[in-house]
Amino acid sequence: MKDKSHDEAMAEIFRKDPYYAAELLNSILEDGEQGELLIALRQMAKAFGGVSKVAEAAQINGTHIYRALSAKGNPEIRSLSAILKVMGLRLAVQPIE
């Protein structure tokens, strides 16, 4: 029996619990760690059929999404919003408490 990779296990969690996914992304955003955010988004893309399927659903060039979510990526707001929408999530702004 083959063990699941960490990414596969996280993808399964994201598929089953979108509230957990939202909490995780918000936590990462609070800490300001862009690298962690990109890792989580790549894992989430896997949960939604892979980067190619997310790109198609978001109507964004697949190469653009691969670059945006790479370790050195820097996604634009519109790309990030489109990717999150495919995953049933959205960007929001709230006051700092």
In whole angstroms, give the CA distance from residue 10 to residue 69.
16
What pTM was estimated for this model as a whole?
0.81
**How many folded domains does the chain comprise?**
1
Neighbour tally for 87: CB within 10 Å: 21
User: Which residue, among 45, 67, 68, 66, has the nearest Cα to 57 in the 3D structure?
Assistant: 45
Higher per-residue confidence, 88 vs 4: 88
In a domain, 97, yes or no: no
| Cβ neighbours for 75, distance < 8 A, ≥ 6 positions apart | 38, 41, 68, 69, 83
In a domain, 95, yes or no: no
Mean pLDDT value of segment 26-35:
86
In whole angstroms, give the CA distance from residue 4 to residue 43.
13
pLDDT of residue 61: 92
Q: pLDDT by residue (tens digit) across 70-85?
A: 988 999 999 999 999 9
Please provide the average confidence, as pLDDT, over all residues in the chain: 87
- In this predicted structure, the answer to whether residue 9 has a pLDDT above a threshold of 70 is yes
Structural domain of 67: 6-86
